[in-house]
Structure 1
Amino acid sequence: MVRRFTLIVLIAAAAVFSAQAEVRFSIRYHDKNIYYPGDNIYLKITMSNPVDSDISDLTFYLADNPLESFGFYQRSLTGEPMPPAQGFTASLSNKGAYRVIHLAKGQELSININLKEWLDLRTPGQYRLTGLFYPRMRGRNVGSIQADSVLDLTLMPKTDNRWEDELDIQVRTALIRRDLDPVSIVKETLESRRDSHYNRAALYLDLESLSRISSMADSPETLEKSLNEGDWNTIPGFENAVTSLKFISAQVFSHEASVRIKADYNPYGESFSRELRFYLHNPDGYWQIRRVEALSETDMDPVSYGQVNLNPPEVITELLNAVQRGDWEMALRYLDISYLIRNQQEYQDKWKDMSAGEHERALDDYRNKLISGRLEEEDKPLKDISDWKITRVSYTETEASVIVENSTNHQTAKGPLVEISEYTFRLLKPAIPGGRWQVSRYDTAIRRR
């Protein structure tokens, strides 16, 4: 009986030993790869049995204490090793329980660990991190498997003003590589602003879009400088640090997204809440906040945002000001583009035969391209608006006409040429409580060159 039991143990040990050459071991960062001394650094470590493996049932031991199954060594770019974490050696003196793991072909097992339990992470610098897996746990003359990749780790130095400086390109690239979704982008931006980590808070802001609609910043560079210095009054919802956040809703499409949240504040002991809607897009391959709006109680859908109770000339003024600063999201709240779309050459002959769903998709495609800047300049509405003034207004309870004279300067071989054109805007107002004026169509005529 003793000999038989010994034989079974030896066979099991041999199976584990033979698995060493077959198990695939990988490490990667769980959420990000830029840190500061003392930060928790979480890694996702994975053991897998490849589909093309010769072993149908891969077997190894996994200790309840991960320190007994995994190891890490880290060296600076000059080859200097990083010391182990305090208490690391002592924690290995008492062997604990373990489990026998079986993985069939194509299966894998992943766990998350905190690197601080292995290494002393208090010294800033740039390092190379190598992971080791011990299929038979740590011990004398026990083999290990090295991870299939080596990770770069940057520990940024802690300085009093590090959040006031523009992030260098390596840090920006590393943070952007995390590929956060729109909700996570909004959450991290608000929390970084709360913690006075101003350069991190500005990372996912589309400064060009935000500066265009800001009355307090004349360029992206000016806006970024004021944000890094702690002046966030130009962006709704960021004037004060949030105390808590509540997610309400989100819509995410291929290139556009909107996120709605409720934010709580407590500046100077005064508690209040605000609902915010964030508009995001991803022109550079990652999500960026291009607009933030503070909502009132009546703001239940995008159509209802903006100025309320405007008369027809005020609507035209808001519309043309938005067009001139490139704020198409605001412009489309006053301009119904249905007339423009159905008269495009692509749809002129088939619009009446298209379904309501096809109409909506055509409108959404044009609207999204216009807002995200992907529409050709010649296809944009009101593209020639330059120096304009309202010359005549007439309206009833539900219909209106506003005529605008527009001057445009053209450079010719004979010198500057001023073109005078006339825009006639037709507006409609639904005969319902709370109905708002909107431009249903407009016509253009050149009066003088």
Structure 2
Amino acid sequence: MKHALITALLASATLLGNAQNQQKAETCNQQHYVPTAENLQARNEFSDNRFGIFLHWGLYSMFAQGEWYLNYGPNKDEYAKVADAFYPHSFNAEKWISAIKASGAKYICFTTRHHEGFSMWDTKQSDYNIMNTPYGKDIVRQLADECHKQGIGLHLYYSHIDWTREDYPAGRTGLTTGKDPKKADWNHYYKFMNAQLTELLTNYGKVDGIWFDGWWDHDEDTIPFNWQLPEQYAMIHKLQPACIIGNNHHQTPFEGEDMQMFERDIPGENKNGLSGQSISRLPLETCQTMNGMWGYKIKDQNYKSAKELIRLLVRTAAKGANLLLNIGPQPNGELPATALDRLADMGKWLNGNAGESIYRTVAGEVALGDSIVSTCGKGKKAPLYIHILTDKKDGEIAVTMKGKAKKATNLITGDKLAFRKDKATGKTIFELNDRKGDEDDYIIKVEF
């Protein structure tokens, strides 16, 4: 993921101009992308899921300093020595996926290869992989098999950049790792990436999505860098037509992409400086950390509360987007205990009546800042769900909405709620006599 230092750079008009030039250079003279029927169906299913879990795990967990540790000074060859001690003896794919499924999440996105260049599967394209560690077992294989077994969607993160390989033409990150810039060979590196992607898309069963990262490494280049994305995207869609492609480039989606992600921001917000791009009509996803970092960092125990995470999920769904919530597994292969607690709390909430207002919904018409948002079921007679996300205890709320309300209930308890139409304002007023004020989310189900 991007370091905070990059935020200010991406905000400048110069960078945006370069980004637009690069996008044009990559799509020039390419045939227009036409998604298959399988792909369109996969997009709908992806949007219906609304909740997934991001898993940032690699050699960087051994240093316990986050996934960008190699960028901050270590020599790549010294860094690589930790592979000889990587033995996540407590890793258990069944336990991971079971906990994730119980949380109410419908899919995972796993970092097969991050910017550090280490591959977490049995790749034949590089010796720098999980099989050449004391552990010696294919992590991706175990996760893929368990996802397929338990009915959890499998999305695979893949970094477009590499801070260790000499053939990758370095951009503006990973410049202190000891690489020789004279040995850069884009054609060789591009073939290497495509060979690895082919392995992932042919050897591990159904892959629901590929999640790219790293395009921004060349967004300052004087001459636009051609990532050759259209050809790569076409290869992926040929191998698995239903596989949806997303790219964390912080731009409006490029042709060939099937979803749009927003890093650390809900669509329409730009609090972290990475999400100023326009919102497309593709399926949307917000990726956010459960604590502060993506990869495991020993000092980062600043976990968001269960209430904060539930409200984040609700506000994201109310924008018509999925929440991809990150966990950084420990070097021993376990998910942190606090992360497991948060998953359990979210599952308790989602697997009760509340899930009805999240899964298979679209953005609702009622939105009053962050305190009152709404989701809506699909179909002409679908109910509207009004979510009250404040600890302030109000006896009633007044909202503007289309249609004539027939019935209103507290979704969690099932109790009926009294309501009336204010003729002067046209607003519908709901009485909330049963509201305590400390709910994670007070949900009014309105039927028409």
Sort the TM-score into its range (normalised by shorter chain).
under 0.3
Q: Which has the higher strand share?
A: 1
TM-score normalised per structure 2: 0.24
Q: Which has the higher helix share?
A: 2
Q: Which has the higher contact order (CA 8 A, sep 6+)?
A: 2
